[in-house]
Amino acid sequence: MLKKIKSLIGLDIGSSCVKAVELTQVGSDLVITGYGQSEILSEKSKADAILDVLHSSSFRTRRVVTAVSGKSVIVRYLTMMQMSPEDLQNAIKFEADKYIPFDVDEVVLDCQRLEEPADGGRTGSAGGEGMRVLLVAVKRALVDDHVGLIQGIGLTPDVIDVDTFALGNAFALRSSLSATVERDDRAVALVDIGANKTNVNILRGATSYFTREIYLGGDDLTSAIAKRFSVEAHQAEQMKRDPGENGEEIRQVVMPVIEDLANEVHLSFDYFENQFDREVEEVYLSGGGSRLPFVEESLERIFEKRARNWDPTENLKINSDSVDVGSLKANAAQLAVAVGLAARIRKD
């Protein structure tokens, strides 16, 4: 019997590095059939970095899913009266200006009803007849720039997502493919430490309850090293990745930045725990910033809860004819958003 085969590329255009992961659905299996990444050397060379990535692997498709993030993206969790999806789409246009700090005409809006948890709504209860709704507003100018960039290099964006939800989707995909069944009513926090920002997404099962973007990341660690050793950013970056004999001094230099970041993330946990009367049980770390060996242990100490790095490619099959498996695994920490974007193939 012929198996239905379809592919989709998750293209994560980070502020420092472009990552692409192609997922192909072969029957009921999901296989990584393409992977590439390339550092962005300057804002102007973003398109070059994307092209570099697309040429680095034999991708099967040109269909891409990308994401936006940053201060022009507003995410709100609302409680609204029960209504049909069509009515919700209409109602949100009138409701949105209450919740977003921009003019409604300046933004692209999207909304989605959130599933209620299995405990009858103890966490995030909409109460009575209400329903929980996720509202996302993105400044039109950001969407236009983003689409311009993608189309400019001859690609067609299938869907434009938001980094933090892609992160959640990657985690949900990993859980759904896992042989060990974890209780999905527990609250876990995903923390993705990028170059300029850190995304926090607190989930129960596949449902997001809280997201926040914190404007601190791996590049702040690099800046601290550059300052202490009076070296250029690229040299500091090298020292961070390969500290050699400066290991202990580098650790001391970056620790205050890690502590600042941890304290900010902790505030998000406090907010969630107060609002929903439920503890964040475990923290899953990703993003290039989590690759420093002592980040995991430092965050675990500060949060006083289990924090661990996770591999978003862990339960996926990999086609080793088209993918450099060693390189994919070495960089897996950075691939959560790209995998989560490509995971939309399951909704095709």
Ligand X SMILES: Nc1ncnc2c1ncn2[C@@H]1O[C@H](COP(=O)(O)OP(=O)(O)OP(=O)(O)O)[C@@H](O)[C@H]1O
d(CA 45, CA 67): 18
d(CA 102, CA 113): 22
Query: Least distance to Mg ion from the beta carbon of 332, Å?
Result: 14
| Integer angstrom CA distances of residue 220 from 1, 261, 289 | 54, 10, 10
Position 17 contacts ligand X (CB under 6 A)? yes
Interface with Mg ion (CB under 5 A), residue total 2
Position 226 contacts ligand X (CB under 6 A)? no
Position 174 contacts ligand X (CB under 6 A)? no
Partner touching 16 among Mg ion, ligand X, none, CB below 5 to 8 Å by kind:
ligand X
Partner touching 340 among Mg ion, ligand X, none, CB below 5 to 8 Å by kind:
none
**Judged by CB under 6 A, which of 208, 222, 268, 313 binds ligand X?**
222
Position 340 contacts ligand X (CB under 6 A)? no
d(CA 19, CA 13): 7
Partner touching 289 among ligand X, Mg ion, none, CB below 5 to 8 Å by kind:
ligand X
Position 240 contacts ligand X (CB under 6 A)? yes
**Judged by CB under 6 A, which of 132, 139, 174, 197 binds ligand X?**
197
Position 139 contacts ligand X (CB under 6 A)? no
Query: Least distance to Mg ion from the beta carbon of 194, Å?
Result: 3
Query: Least distance to ligand X from the beta carbon of 262, Å?
Result: 16
The window from 47-55, 173-181, 264-272, 286-294 that contacts ligand X (CB under 6 A) reads 286-294
**Between 124 and 217, whose beta carbon lies closer to ligand X?**
217
Query: Least distance to ligand X from the beta carbon of 46, Å?
Result: 11
Query: Least distance to ligand X from the beta carbon of 10, Å?
Result: 12
The window from 83-91, 95-103, 182-190, 192-200 that contacts Mg ion (CB under 5 A) reads 192-200
Query: By the criterion CB under 6 A, which residues form the site for ligand X?
Result: 14-17, 194-197, 217-219, 222, 237, 240-241, 287-289, 291-292, 334
Query: By the criterion CB under 5 A, which residues form the site for Mg ion?
Result: 14, 194
